[in-house]
């Protein structure tokens, strides 16, 4: 446990505490809410650290008393108190460690997941659909809520792209290790010679942004409406219900057409846009924070090949932690707990090493 880090956290906490009573900040609700949220995240750590310092001080006084006390009864009582305080301090240290490990401010967020077909043509789009169904089944088994925000299906029955949200207070914590390239090795249904093909799909997992996270000026948006199209480009709607929103300063474009209502498509598009802009802001911050890289599973690069699904061998291998399971059928049916738990365990190990 690094006291320097705890001192820094508590100094920040005191600054936030003063800001929350500043009338200028109170009058700016967006800013106030951001500060209040950070304050609430740091409060448990600082309370535990104060308790740690208090108990450590008590322990030191008992230690000094033991050196000076000659009365056998008093010595025995002091030994008992010393042992009790040592146990309390160890317990507090563990709690502080747990709080510091959960230092990701976005852990308790809903999540937006984007799956895109990579190299491999129709087979890649079919694999993208398989990946989506794998997550959908997992979410269903866990009793979570999944909502499709945008999809671009293919005539082969796959997806060029599908974007969905999972709503749960720990959704980002659960899914965050899924970002990267997922590779599949199997014999496509269209392959007459039985030759194994390799194709891929990319997955991007983002904590869903809240309105207070990103301030978007409506003047920075270009909103286009058009008719929805299905596989092959044919029109599937007679009304202009599809929406494309472009954030001009960053040239970030989001398109939604799954809903028949233009308003509903616009709301979904704004959710995706807000989340992508938050991600861009996070990326800028990460460039200056090497610590976060040392506590990541893998490089954190979304072009990194993170996992291989080998159908002939019934094998799934996560390359970041060198972990293989011969349970491919179960995994594709959404039995992801063993894999997800192993990834979270590895992350905890890395974070403990860097506390």
Domain limits, the chain: 3-101, 111-201+297-353, 218-286
**C-beta atoms surrounding 257 within 10 Å:** 24
Question: What are the residue ranges of helices labelled H in the chain?
Answer: 3-19, 23-26, 29-68, 72-101, 121-142, 171-175, 262-286, 290-294, 328-332, 337-353
Cα–Cα distance, 146 to 185 (Å, whole number): 28
For domain 111-201+297-353, give the CATH number: 3.30.70.1660
Band of the pLDDT at 236, cuts 50, 70, 90?
low
Contacting residues for 345 by C-beta, under 8 A, at least 6 apart: none
- Could you tell me which CATH class the domain 218-286 is placed in? alpha beta
pLDDT digits (tens, 9 = 90+) for 9-42: 999 999 999 999 999 989 988 788 889 888 988 8
- Tell me: pLDDT of 185 over 90: yes
Q: Could you tell me what percent of the chain has a pLDDT over 70?
A: 90
Q: At 238, give phi and psi (nearest 5°).
A: -85, -10
pLDDT digits (tens, 9 = 90+) for 99-120: 777 656 777 789 999 999 998 8
- Tell me: pLDDT of 233 over 60: no
- Tell me: pLDDT of 289 over 60: no
Question: In the structure encoding, which two tokens stand for residue 122, read together?
Answer: 């129709």
pLDDT digits (tens, 9 = 90+) for 293-337: 455 666 556 678 999 999 999 999 999 999 999 999 999 999 999
Cα–Cα distance, 299 to 78 (Å, whole number): 51
Residue 184: its H or E element: strand 180-186
Band of the pLDDT at 174, cuts 50, 70, 90?
very high
Q: Which residue has the higher pLDDT, 143 or 228?
A: 143
Q: Could you tell me what percent of the chain has a pLDDT over 90?
A: 61
Strand order, beta sheet including 242-247 = 221-226, 242-247, 252-256
């Amino acid at each position: 446990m690094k006291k320097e880090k705890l001192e820094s956290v508590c100094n920040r906490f005191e600054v936030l505490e003063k800001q929350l009573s500043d009338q200028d900040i109170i009058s700016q609700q967006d800013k106030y809410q951001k500060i209040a949220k950070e304050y609430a995240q740091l409060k448990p750590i600082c309370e535990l650290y104060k308790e740690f310092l208090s108990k450590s001080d008590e322990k030191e006084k008992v230690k000094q008393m033991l050196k000076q006390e000659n009365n056998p009864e008093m010595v025995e009582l002091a030994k008992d108190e010393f042992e009790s305080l040592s146990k309390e301090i160890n317990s507090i240290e563990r709690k502080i460690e747990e709080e510091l490990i959960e230092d990701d401010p976005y852990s308790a967020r809903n999540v937006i997941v984007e799956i895109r077909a990579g190299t491999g043509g129709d087979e890649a789009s079919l694999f993208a659909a398989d990946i989506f169904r794998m997550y959908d089944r997992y979410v269903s088994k866990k009793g979570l809520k999944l909502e499709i925000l945008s999809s671009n299906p293919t005539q082969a029955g796959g997806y060029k792209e599908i974007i969905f949200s999972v709503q749960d207070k720990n959704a980002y914590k659960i899914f965050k290790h899924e970002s990267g390239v997922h590779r599949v090795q199997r014999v496509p249904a269209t392959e007459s010679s039985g030759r194994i093909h390799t194709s891929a799909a990319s997955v991007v997992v983002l904590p869903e942004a809240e309105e207070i996270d990103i301030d978007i000026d409506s003047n920075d948006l270009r909103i286009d409406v058009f008719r929805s199209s299905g596989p092959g480009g044919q029109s599937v709607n007679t009304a202009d219900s599809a929406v494309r929103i472009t954030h001009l300063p960053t040239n970030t474009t989001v398109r939604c057409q799954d809903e028949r209502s233009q308003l509903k498509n616009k709301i979904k598009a704004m959710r995706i846009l807000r989340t992508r802009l938050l991600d861009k802001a996070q990326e800028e911050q990460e460039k200056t924070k090497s610590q976060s890289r040392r506590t990541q599973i893998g490089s954190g690069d979304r072009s990194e090949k993170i996992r291989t699904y080998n159908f002939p061998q019934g094998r799934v291998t996560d390359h970041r932690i060198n972990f293989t399971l011969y349970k491919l059928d179960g995994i594709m049916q959404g039995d992801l707990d063993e894999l997800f738990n192993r990834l979270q365990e590895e992350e905890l190990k890395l974070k403990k090493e860097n506390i």
